[in-house]
Amino acid sequence: MRLNHIWKAILLGAFVLILVACQGEAENSNANSDANGNNEGSEQLEGSVVIDGSGTVYPLMAKLAEEYMVNEQEGVSVEVSRAGTSAGFEKFLVENGTDFNDASREIKEEEAAKAEELGMEVKELKVALDGLTFVINKENDWATEITAEDLKKIFLAEEDVTKWSDINPDWPDEKINTYGPNENHGTYEFFFENVLEEKDLVLDIDLQQEYSTLVNLIEDDENGIAFFGFGYYVNNQDKLQAVSVDFGDGAVEPSLDTIAEDGDYADFTRPVFTYLNVNNAKEKPEVLDFAEYVLNNINDFAGETGFAPIPEEEVNENLSFIDSLK
């Protein structure tokens, strides 16, 4: 009988040790990232984040949204659309509007006034640098380098430039067909306001809502020239070619090395943004969490989607603001 008691004690002790080991393993598993790549110790959230706005910024934000849903928060749905900067602000600056508006220009005074009227706090978050890029057909072997002034002449109504030979007598005596994004897009507004200085565009310019349509038009038109963000050129280099621009010191090809606010392509470089509805960020933890994720990862994905990164100090300033909302 005494031997039986000893064996029972040994078995009980072993059972307790197994329970303690299993509990410790479970705690370690919960503390670390799971098989789906969620961050260590991160709170698992549910809900939705709605983003609209700039077609230029779309590839970057769509990539961030995909990475966030797969690797960070499986329970959060991030919907990214691309109505265009101005059309996006119309969806953002309303009651129960979108959580973010991507923009390839700064918010306008009247848009900021609308936000104030609604009692909405809006935070501008710079996410990358983009280069306004002029693209031509692959078969165009004459207009691969153009001065900034001649590019303006091609698109300005007052210059009366209609043929390539009007720019250079050695170029074809063929009509220039101009294309670009329509007025819904911040890229159009940047070009019209900053490059053309708000002077009238040529009357027969073909303005489109979809950037993919512009790519197809240039691909099929040997005499076409269009403008849009560098990212759309990068993703379609097999279909078209970029014009190198001479700003006065020789032709500069748009690239991740030249696109910078103080670089060789500075005259056609612009920051791009996403605007955060701070009210929603305070009320919906998934919106605040996604904003933080964006800022922590934008420079990792900028180059991959055709953008130049922004300085880390600017990222950190915005991260400090996000932290203040927690």
DSSP per-residue letters across 192-226: IIIISTTPPBPTT-EEES-HHHHHHHHHH-TTEEE
> What φ, ψ does residue 309 adopt, rounded to 5°?
-75, 160
Helical axes 285-301 vs 312-324, angle rounded to 10°:
170
Mean pLDDT of 287-316: 96
pLDDT at res. 34:
41
DSSP assignment letter at 250 = S
DSSP assignment letter at 163 = B
Is 60 exceeded by the pLDDT of residue 291? yes
* pLDDT (tens digit per residue) in 29-63: 343 434 333 444 468 999 999 999 999 999 999 99
* pLDDT (tens digit per residue) in 88-113: 999 999 999 999 999 999 999 999 99
Q: For residue 182, how many other CB atoms are within 10 A of its CB?
A: 16
Q: How far apart are CA 185 and CA 53, in angstroms?
A: 8
pLDDT at res. 268:
97
DSSP assignment letter at 305 = G
Q: How far apart are CA 164 and CA 141, in angstroms?
A: 12
Give the H/E segment covering residue 269.
Answer: strand 269-277
Query: With contact defined as beta carbons under 8 Å apart, do 169 and 306 qualify?
Result: no
Q: How far apart are CA 261 and CA 270, in angstroms?
A: 7
Residue with tokens 């490059």: 195
Q: How far apart are CA 267 and CA 248, in angstroms?
A: 11
Q: Does residue 98 or residue 22 have the better pLDDT?
A: 98
Q: Which of 21-25, 64-68, 187-191, 283-287 has the lowest mean pLDDT?
A: 21-25
Is 50 exceeded by the pLDDT of residue 215? yes
Alpha helices for 108-147 (secondary structure H) = 109-117
* pLDDT (tens digit per residue) in 160-211: 899 999 999 999 999 999 999 999 999 999 999 999 999 999 999 999 999 9
**CB-count exposure of residue 153 (10 Å: 0-12, 13-18, 19+):** middle
pLDDT at res. 43:
83
pLDDT at res. 250:
96
Phi-psi region of 271 (alpha: psi -120 to 50; beta: other; left: phi over 0): beta
DSSP assignment letter at 303 = G
The percent of residues in the chain predicted with pLDDT above 70, rounded, is 87
Q: How far apart are CA 164 and CA 167, in angstroms?
A: 6
* Rg of the Cα atoms in the chain: 27
DSSP assignment letter at 263 = S
Q: Does residue 33 or residue 279 have the better pLDDT?
A: 279
Mean pLDDT of 123-149: 98
pLDDT at res. 42:
64
Reduced to 3 states, what is the DSSP secondary structure of residue 115? helix
Q: How far apart are CA 313 and CA 229, in angstroms?
A: 25
Residues 6+ apart with CB under 8 A from 197: none
The overall average pLDDT reported for the chain is 90
* pLDDT (tens digit per residue) in 229-259: 999 999 999 999 999 999 999 999 999 999 9
Residue with tokens 């031509």: 136
Query: With contact defined as beta carbons under 8 Å apart, do 194 and 106 qualify?
Result: no
Residue with tokens 């507004």: 189
Is 50 exceeded by the pLDDT of residue 10? no
